[in-house]
Amino acid sequence: MENKKLKIGIIGLGTVGSGVVKTLKNFENVEIVSAAVKNLNKKRDVEVQNLTDDPFEIVNNPEIDVVVEVAGGCNPTYELITTAIKNKKHIVTANKELLAKFGDKIFDLANENNVSVLYEAAVAGGIPIIGPIKTTLRGNIFTKVAGILNGTTNYILTKMEEKNISYLECLKDAQNLGYAEADPTGDVEGYDAMYKIATLANITFHRRIDVNKIYREGITKISADDIKFADEFGYKIKLIGLAQKYDDQKLDIRVHPMLVPKTNMISGINNALNAVLLEGFPVDKVMFTGPGAGEFPTASSVVGDILSIAGECGHTDTVLPLHRCNHKKEAEIVDIKHTKNKYYISITAPNSKGTIGAIGTVCGENNINLSSILQKGTKEDNTAQIIVITEESAELDIQNAIAELNKHNIVINNLIRVM
């Protein structure tokens, strides 16, 4: 292929696919042979000479060297990608769900057929993170990777804080601005971040991840009061994807809201920006931040992967060996009930003598030490809002204490883990 153009086929000409076409116009060593779309008659702001509504024409076209998949979903995408690989085509994809659910099969098949699968855009949009982990940070032994991996939820939580308004009001605002889908479930319930942390854990800890074993919790229960009280205690609330070593054998992988100390770098990442924080030896801590979605940020990563392949095709028999997945060991993922965390607990309780004492007693009986406790006024129904921050405690002890508090007519409004 030396001195020849790399010929690509694109599956999907939506926001990201259009951005890829526009960006590739700046590079003469790549040629778009064809693109597959759902609707041939739809008006688009980009022009590709050969359009088809049959994506199998792309993956079976002998002229195409690289299949760029930016359509999303798993059906029929999984079959399309595996067919392309069997036809000896390299893959560039932005499909986080596909990789989280079927990455092990895809990577094995790619190795069998000596092709590369690149996916920089599938984790953090325009933020370069996959490449650095696999290359310049390769000499590190990592203990933790954590981050804000979903721009929609970060935007909503930022606006809830700035405007002191409810989750539902901010969601509606995000939908009107195009930050949130009409059906926002994938974002606000944490699925999107779950798929991304699964991929990050895979490459950081060299273990294959069963995405079904990852604990997941979204932001729909977060209130404006939670954000206000967290701020008073010196925290910001963020939806965090977390993967860390639990012990020598097990990994702790989860997605849920967390109180992030204002001293932590991640707390300052606002609006639709994303961030990934890595901890390990010898680098200690390093953070990557930038736009995690959008037409051109995502296209930046997709095109970067395409050009990486273009730079090696025709010059080597094995394209980009450092980027290939060669580990096969399955991760043992610890159940969240066996983890230890600090906790923020929002409580509504009768405004009567002994209530705070009862809370302290129940916590003490369950091996929970309290770091802070604050009563925030009395409501018309003579109930009090009480906020508790615990020291590090076992999840099982916290859940037992909550069950006991409920017997005392003490209502738990929300429980949020602390980073």
Question: Is it true that the peptide bond before 282 is cis, omega within 30 degrees of 0?
Answer: yes
Distance, CA of 92 to chain centre: 19
Q: What are phi and psi of 384, to 5 degrees?
A: -115, 145
Which of the following is catalytic: 196, 221, 329, 337? 196
Maximum Cα–Cα distance for the chain, whole Å?
Answer: 83
Contact yes or no for 20/126 (Cβ under 8 A): no
CB 390 within 8 A of CB 343: yes
Task: With beta carbons less than 8 A apart as the criterion, state whether 153 and 185 touch.
Answer: no
Collect all residues with Cβ–Cβ distance below 8 Å to 284 and sequence separation of at least 6: none
**Cβ within 8 Å of residue 353, ≥6 positions away:** none
Say which amino acid occupies 303. Answer: V
Locate the DSSP E strands across 80-229.
90-93, 117-118, 141-148, 215-216
Amino acid identity, position 139: G
Cβ-based neighbours of 19, under 8 Å, separated by 6 or more: 295, 296, 298, 299, 302
Q: Which two tokens stand for residue 186?
A: 């994938």
Q: Classify the C-alpha dihedral 297-168-214-337 as positive or negative.
A: positive
Q: Which helix (H) or strand (E) holds 95?
A: none
Q: Is 196 a catalytic residue?
A: yes
Q: Strands across the sheet with 6-11, in order?
A: 51-52, 30-36, 6-11, 66-69, 90-93, 117-118
Q: What 3-state DSSP class applies to 378?
A: strand
- Return the active site residues: 196
